[in-house]
């Protein structure tokens, strides 16, 4: 009986399993395998070269800069986005006039595809664009934004937060709303101030969604591509050359597909290491 | 009171870029930078709106690319839901050896971020001559592990008695799936459908790698191509941005309840 059930289940599962295997798992494995090969003109075809693609990468100054920029970006963007979405989630779950409408305005950019957002912000960041218009109105001097080595990462962070914060906020709002109203009201009656209530009542109770947001946000930020490709092309001087863009550039502009595969493997390994570290940290303070 | 002021300021700050885009889509491209120095109320409002940018969109590459995006997303949702729902049924309704393993593969497949494997996958698609085909654009969207996972969670809640009754009435297993599981699971199906839709609609890396000729280019890629030109018509750029944002917005707004459900259940359960 069980075996028959198994066959029927397999029939239902086959199309999806084929898709997942061919479209997700095989390319992941193929990236690892191909990263150990290189194209040889002399011998006509691909040749096993062991770790030489990896040692080539590690020996390249541009690659090391790209890793450095990616790590710096990760350390900046994730805490900013998680803290901002948490604060906004708390703000928009308070009883206040117009809260629903303001919340909707924050969520609205979710609908804009990331590449479209990047195009919009490429106009905002122009020297004569909206960004400097707003600064001018506030009496501040005009800024170069994307063409300045120091401002390019912060500019990308602002753009990515505009895209992403509303999305992450949704998870945290859902988490806060699962906190029983009695708990929140009890804290209010005990005379806890808003700051105190946020830190000692709400924060511990949304640990799980908060942990999810931190991990998912980190993964998505490590794979940021469209804004770099559309706005900065990694520049100026490689200061926004995030790994995902570097991989793309290596594969299609430089045409070195095997080294690009090695770089994909490094990017995924880096992502796993950072996520594993976050899990340890989160478990550590329980 | 102060909380709603703070909320209002934050909300308006987030909304300003979109408002600016909409306003500029309603004025000629030559005036895009006219009201920025100094900033005035006219930066964000247009008293004599014109739809010329939108009519220009119709015959342009972006217009065609938007239609392509609609086609690709619709195909992805239709085929993807069929594939994912049958798989979820296979996982939820049967007891068999290796179920844990299969479920593990599903979970693993959505833990591997798609963009990370897009480049190795695109080399495979090149070998299979799937570049610049709709098949090549649609395929990666249909096997969505997260959608299978969500649907399975929902299907597990279908009462066993109902299935038994259906079997006694002579329904085959496909009949049980079609006439018992699917009708009971509309909210989950809509949630999974939204997930498949947004995955495709927002995709950029994959369409950039796979669909670059005029026939198969998708909306976001076409828009970024236009922006990259030296003498871009910003009126057209902004009108394209509005269209590419409004379409998913309408879909999300129409299924708002299910959208929030599908988002929050991925994070919490």
- DSSP assignment string, B58-96: HHSHHHHHHHHHHHHHHHHHHHHHHHHHHHHHHHHH---
- A255 backbone dihedrals φ, ψ, rounded to 5°: 80, 20
Q: Is B119 close to A248, i.e. CB distance below 8 A?
A: yes
**Containing H/E element for A48?**
strand A45-48
3-state secondary structure of B255: coil
Terminal C-alpha separation, chain B: 35
Residue A74: per-residue pLDDT:
96
Nearest to B205 by CA among A153, A251, A123: A251
**Containing H/E element for B122?**
helix B114-127
Ranges of residues in chain B whose predicted pLDDT is under 70: 1, 264-269
Q: Is B115 close to A225, i.e. CB distance below 8 A?
A: yes
Residue B3: per-residue pLDDT:
82
Residue B46: per-residue pLDDT:
83
**147-166 in B: which are within 8 Å (CB) of A?**
148
Question: Which of A94, A103, A114, A123 is the mutation pick for testing B, counting most B CBs within 10 A?
Answer: A123
Where is pLDDT greater, at A2 or B125?
B125
- Is any Cβ of chain A less than 8 angstroms from the Cβ of B222? no
3-state secondary structure of B112: coil
- Is any Cβ of chain B less than 8 angstroms from the Cβ of A209? yes
Residue A164: per-residue pLDDT:
93
Please name the residue that has the structure tokens 């390994």: A269
Q: Is B116 close to A223, i.e. CB distance below 8 A?
A: yes
- Is any Cβ of chain A less than 8 angstroms from the Cβ of B3? yes
- Comparing A73-77, A264-268, B56-60, the range with the smallest average pLDDT is B56-60
- Is any Cβ of chain B less than 8 angstroms from the Cβ of A9? yes
Q: Is A226 close to B204, i.e. CB distance below 8 A?
A: yes
Q: Is B224 close to A226, i.e. CB distance below 8 A?
A: yes
Q: What is the DSSP string of B198-238?
A: HHHHH--HHHHHH--STTT--HHHHHHHHHHSTT--HHHHH
Terminal C-alpha separation, chain A: 46
- Is any Cβ of chain A less than 8 angstroms from the Cβ of B4? yes
Q: Is B204 close to A114, i.e. CB distance below 8 A?
A: yes
The pTM score is 0.91
> Is beta strand A37-40 parallel, antiparallel or unpaired with respect to A45-48?
antiparallel
Contact by Cβ (8 Å): B241, B223: yes
**Which pLDDT band holds residue A285 (cuts at 50, 70, 90)?**
low
Where is pLDDT greater, at A186 or A22?
A22
Say which residues have a Cβ less than 8 Å from residue A215's Cβ, sequence separation at least 6: A275, A278, A279
pLDDT, tens only, A97-126? 888 899 999 999 999 999 999 999 999 999
- Is any Cβ of chain B less than 8 angstroms from the Cβ of A267? yes
- Is any Cβ of chain B less than 8 angstroms from the Cβ of A138? no
Q: Which residues of B touch A109 (CB under 8 A)?
A: 14, 17-18
Nearest to A232 by CA among A135, A156, A131: A156
Q: Residue A102 is nearest to which of B7, B220, B252, comparing CB atoms?
A: B7
Q: Which residues of B touch A92 (CB under 8 A)?
A: 7
Residue B269: per-residue pLDDT:
43
Q: What is the mean pLDDT of chain A?
A: 90
Nearest to B69 by CA among B115, B138, B11, B165: B138
């Amino acid at each position: 009986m069980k075996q028959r059930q198994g066959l029927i289940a397999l029939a239902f599962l086959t199309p999806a399993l084929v898709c997942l295997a061919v479209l997700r798992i095989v390319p992941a494995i193929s990236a690892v395998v191909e990263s150990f090969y290189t194209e040889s003109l002399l011998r006509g075809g691909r040749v096993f070269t062991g770790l030489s693609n990896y040692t080539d990468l590690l020996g390249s100054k541009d690659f090391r800069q790209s890793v450095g920029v990616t790590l710096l970006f990760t350390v900046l963007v994730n805490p900013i986005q998680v803290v901002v979405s948490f604060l906004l989630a708390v703000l928009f779950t308070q009883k206040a006039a117009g809260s629903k409408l303001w919340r909707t305005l924050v969520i609205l950019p979710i609908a804009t595809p990331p590449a479209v957002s990047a195009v919009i912000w490429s106009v905002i960041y122009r020297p004569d664009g909206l960004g400097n218009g707003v600064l001018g109105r506030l009496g501040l001097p005009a800024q170069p934004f994307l063409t300045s080595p120091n401002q390019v990462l912060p500019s990308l962070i602002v753009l990515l937060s505009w895209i992403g914060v509303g999305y992450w906020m949704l998870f945290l709002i859902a988490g806060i709303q699962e906190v029983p109203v009695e708990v929140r009201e009890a804290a209010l009656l005990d005379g806890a101030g808003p700051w105190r209530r946020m830190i000692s009542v709400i924060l511990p109770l949304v640990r799980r969604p908060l942990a999810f947001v931190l991990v998912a946000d980190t993964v998505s930020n490590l794979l940021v591509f469209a804004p770099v490709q559309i706005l900065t092309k990694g520049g100026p001087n490689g200061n926004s050359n995030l790994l995902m863009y570097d991989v793309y550039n290596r594969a299609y502009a430089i045409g070195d597909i095997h080294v690009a595969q090695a770089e994909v493997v490094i990017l995924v390994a880096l992502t796993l290491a950072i996520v594993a570290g976050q899990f340890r940290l989160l478990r550590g303070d329980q | 009171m102060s909380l709603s002021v703070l909320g209002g300021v934050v909300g308006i700050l987030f909304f300003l870029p979109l408002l600016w885009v909409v306003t500029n889509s309603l004025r000629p491209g030559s005036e895009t930078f006219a009201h920025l120095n100094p900033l005035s109320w006219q930066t964000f409002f247009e008293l004599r709106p014109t739809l010329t940018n939108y009519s220009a969109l119709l015959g342009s590459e972006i217009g065609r690319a938007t239609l392509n995006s609609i086609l690709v997303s619709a195909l992805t949702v239709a085929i993807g839901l069929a594939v994912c729902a049958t798989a979820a049924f296979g996982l939820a309704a049967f007891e068999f050896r290796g179920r844990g393993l299969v479920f593990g593969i599903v979970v693993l497949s959505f833990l591997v971020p798609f963009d990370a494997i897009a480049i190795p996958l695109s080399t495979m698609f090149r070998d299979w001559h799937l570049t610049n085909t709709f098949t090549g654009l649609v395929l990666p969207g249909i096997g969505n592990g997260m959608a299978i996972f969500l649907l399975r969670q929902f299907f597990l809640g279908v009462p066993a008695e109902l299935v038994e009754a259906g079997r006694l009435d002579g329904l085959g297993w496909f009949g049980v799936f079609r006439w018992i599981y699917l009708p009971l699971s509309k909210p989950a199906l809509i949630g999974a459908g939204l997930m498949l839709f947004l995955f495709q609609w927002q995709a950029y890396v994959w369409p950039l790698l796979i669909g670059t000729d005029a026939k198969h280019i998708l909306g976001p890629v076409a828009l970024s191509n236009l922006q990259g030109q030296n003498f871009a018509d910003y009126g057209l750029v902004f009108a394209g941005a509005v269209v590419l944002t409004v379409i998913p917005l309408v879909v999300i707004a129409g299924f708002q309840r299910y959208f929030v459900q599908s988002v929050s259940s991925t994070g919490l359960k």
